[in-house]
Amino acid sequence: MAKGRIIFVTGTDTGVGKSYATGVLARAYLALGKTVITQKPVQTGTREPEDILIHRRMMGLPPDPPELLSLTCPYIFKYPAAPETAASLEGQKIDSGHLLACLRELSQTYEVVLVEGAGGLYVPLTEDLTVLDFISLLMCPVLVVSAARLGTINHTVLTIKALKARGLYVAGLIYNLHFATDEFLAERSLEDIKRLAEIDQVLKLPNITDEIPSIEALLSFVENTPGLRP
């Protein structure tokens, strides 16, 4: 499908830090001298491309001009719900072919395209297509974002195993420490996730409201993770 590398960023749930993770990864590729863009196929709960704006802020870039935004955020719906529901309330349907066409155009221009999903894997994009189905169409490397809080072992392991069951390559885990209230529990949960999900490549995001990960840590993760390496 594409000339540029497409990488999908999914999460165990909504609100786990996918937008910040996508933004800091894009920042790393910029530091490596790569042309990089991020995409949010469907934004809900707002009339603004909120997640794309987070990405650009983390990348140190201005908001996308309208012609680019039509590709980086093809659908925006006001109601805070799954994309299929939010679209139907506005009398619209999401066209998966249009999403793929937008990605195809971006990948012709940029060396790296980071795609941020909506919620978790089984969120419906259309009546017949979940986020997981959409990733399966792309057959690209996937990064999983999970939150260091109670319940993360189950949610993260199930997410990774669902991706692997589809034959998808899980490049790594981004473990968001923003929610951690117990350092011991956060570390112990991560060790269990790595063992049960059989995953080794992990990037720990610090408290992202206070700091951005060091560029050295970001570059090390990207350069040492198969599927992400430029």
pLDDT band for position 113 (50/70/90)?
very high
d(CA 52, CA 69): 9
Parallel, antiparallel, or unpaired: how do β-strands 36-39 and 112-116 relate?
parallel
Specify if 45 maps to a domain. Answer: yes
Q: What percent of the chain has a predicted confidence (pLDDT) above 70?
A: 97
Q: In this model, does residue 120 exceed pLDDT 70?
A: yes
- Number of domains the chain is built from: 1
**Domain of 159, in residue numbers:** 5-224
The per-residue pLDDT for range 197-230, each reduced to its tens digit, is 999 999 998 866 555 677 888 888 899 898 898 7
Binding residues for ATP: 15-20, 64, 116-119, 213-215
Q: In this model, does residue 3 exceed pLDDT 80?
A: no
Mean pLDDT for the stretch of residues 168-179: 94
Please pick, among 3, 40, 161, 204, the residue that the annotation labels catalytic: 40
Binding residues: 15-20, 44, 64, 116-119, 213-215
Q: Which has the closest alpha carbon to 138: 160, 106, 109? A: 106
40 is catalytic: yes
Name the burial class of residue 212, with classes exposed (0-12), middle (13-18) and buried (19+) by CB atoms within 10 angstroms of its CB: middle
Average pLDDT, rounded, for the chain = 94
How is residue 177 annotated by DSSP?
A: G
Binding residues for substrate: 44
Mean pLDDT for the stretch of residues 156-171: 97
Specify if 153 maps to a domain. Answer: yes
Location of structure tokens 């297509």: 129
Specify if 86 maps to a domain. Answer: yes
Q: What is the CATH number of the domain that holds 52?
A: 3.40.50.300
Mean pLDDT for the stretch of residues 182-189: 95
Specify if 39 maps to a domain. Answer: yes
Specify if 229 maps to a domain. Answer: no
Q: Structure tokens of 59?
A: 């990348």
Specify if 42 maps to a domain. Answer: yes
Mean pLDDT for the stretch of residues 150-162: 97
Q: In this model, does residue 83 exceed pLDDT 90?
A: yes
Specify if 201 maps to a domain. Answer: yes
Q: Structure tokens of 141?
A: 């490397």
Region label for 4, one of left (φ > 0), alpha (ψ between -120 and 50) or beta (otherwise): beta
d(CA 140, CA 100): 13
Binding residues for Mg(2+): 19, 64, 116
